[in-house]
Amino acid sequence: MKALCYNSVKDLRVENVPDPEIISPKDMIVRVTLSSVCGSDLHIINGFIPTVKAGDVLGHEFMGGVVETGRDVKKFVKGDRVVVASVIACGECHYCNQQSYSLCDNTNPNAYLPEKMFGDTLAGIYGYTHAFGGYAGSHAQYIRVPFADNGAFKVPEGLQDDSVIFCSDAFPTGYMAADMANIKPGSVVAVWGAGGVGQMAMQSAWLLGAERVIAIDREAYRLRVAKEKSKAETLNFTEVEVLEALKDLTGGRGPDCCIDAVGMESSGTGIGYAYDKAKQWARMENDRPLVLRDAIMACRKGGTVSIVGVYSGFADKIPMGAAMNKALTFKMGQMHGPKYIPRLLDHVQNGDVDPSFLVTHKMGLHQGQQGYDMFTLKEDNCMRVVFDPQKSLQHG
């Protein structure tokens, strides 16, 4: 089959790879109908997350149709239309029983790698390097879905693929960001990053009772989408001093909840950005934590900082003194997909949220490098590029 593979830094290629097979009786094979790019993919493509190898199939946000099931799969049959959580969870271990699915003990066969990096093992993630299990990703015509009964979900009749695809990752990640942020009626929520996850965090904040939502980004078109689709007030950090602006917007107090939907490759202005960029380029630090610093400094006393932007290792000059003395609460993590996806499908079916506006470009796998370049450079008002792997059949 055809698949979009990592070759080297910023070099992706479509290759012929072996078709997936049932390995465990809990496995399922899915014919991928849509697979989205994601900002966290860029950390791999740009060379900031180790343990990726040439030939690894990328992609973790996807949906498709069931073509084969293992003998222990009970919830699905051939022909079912499914959306699959990007994080792989067994559904039976201590952490899965607490619905902390991204902490699963049993789905990462390369547990020794994250133990060295993070002090403990983590769940597997499709297409997200060998530190997260080395699983083949979803930018392919077919994919093996382990522990299918726990990680896959039937798509309700009548829903369009474009409305469902982001229930795989962007919507549950954004919803979890809002859920962790301790939003209460009357809360003011600031969201750094107006990409797919940020937009879903904004819309989820409204679902959870926020009174005001403020979006922070530098791209005018993304801020326009935040205003029009996610009903947010907007701040362009290249035009205003964000900390001062947030104080002004909140009567001098600061937001109740601050969400970092950017992570390790955040952008900024001034000497701080140049400092982080240089240190990251020289491999003297893993992450550029500009957003995290701002979120800590902006958040009101006793507020909550929620982090779903991906960080990979060590970050410099975090204002822990401000965090401690303001008595801030930190919550963070990879998303616990199976906890959220059923309720998010209900929200989509009920018309509360329609994530389809994120699909701005559709391509075949043969256009994979072009799609990621467009997404990286934010060309043509690109929110998300979504691949249809079956289009690649006609391209040899």
At residue 275, the pLDDT reads 79
The predicted pLDDT at position 396 comes to 53
Q: Please provide the DSSP assignment of 167-203 as one string.
A: GTTHHHHHHHHHHHTT--TT-EEEEE--SHHHHHHHH
**What pLDDT digit, counting tens, does each position of 139-164 carry?**
999 999 999 999 999 999 999 999 99
- pLDDT of 394 reads 57
- For the chain, what's the residue count? 396
44 φ/ψ angles, rounded to the nearest 5 degrees: -75, -50
pLDDT computed for residue 281 by the predictor: 78
Would you state the pLDDT for residue 278? 84
Q: Give the pair of three-digit tokens for residue 361.
A: 């470009």
Domains and CATH numbers, the chain: 2-169+335-394 (3.90.180.10), 170-332 (3.40.50.720)
3-state secondary structure of 4: strand
Which pLDDT score, from 0 to 100, does residue 393 have? 58
In this prediction, residue 285 carries a pLDDT of 79
Helix (H, G, I), strand (E, B) or coil at 271: helix
The three-state secondary structure class of 48 is: coil
pLDDT the model gives residue 392: 57
Q: Which residues in the chain come in under a pLDDT of 50?
A: none
- In this prediction, residue 283 carries a pLDDT of 74
pLDDT for position 152: 98
Cα 154–chain centre separation: 21
Q: Going by C-beta distance under 8 Å and a sequence separation of 6 or more, which residues neighbour residue 5?
A: 12, 13, 14, 15, 17, 54, 55, 56, 57, 58
Which amino acid, 171? F
- Among candidate residues 87, 119, 93, 120, the one with its CA nearest the CA of residue 105: 93
Q: What is the pLDDT of residue 47?
A: 87
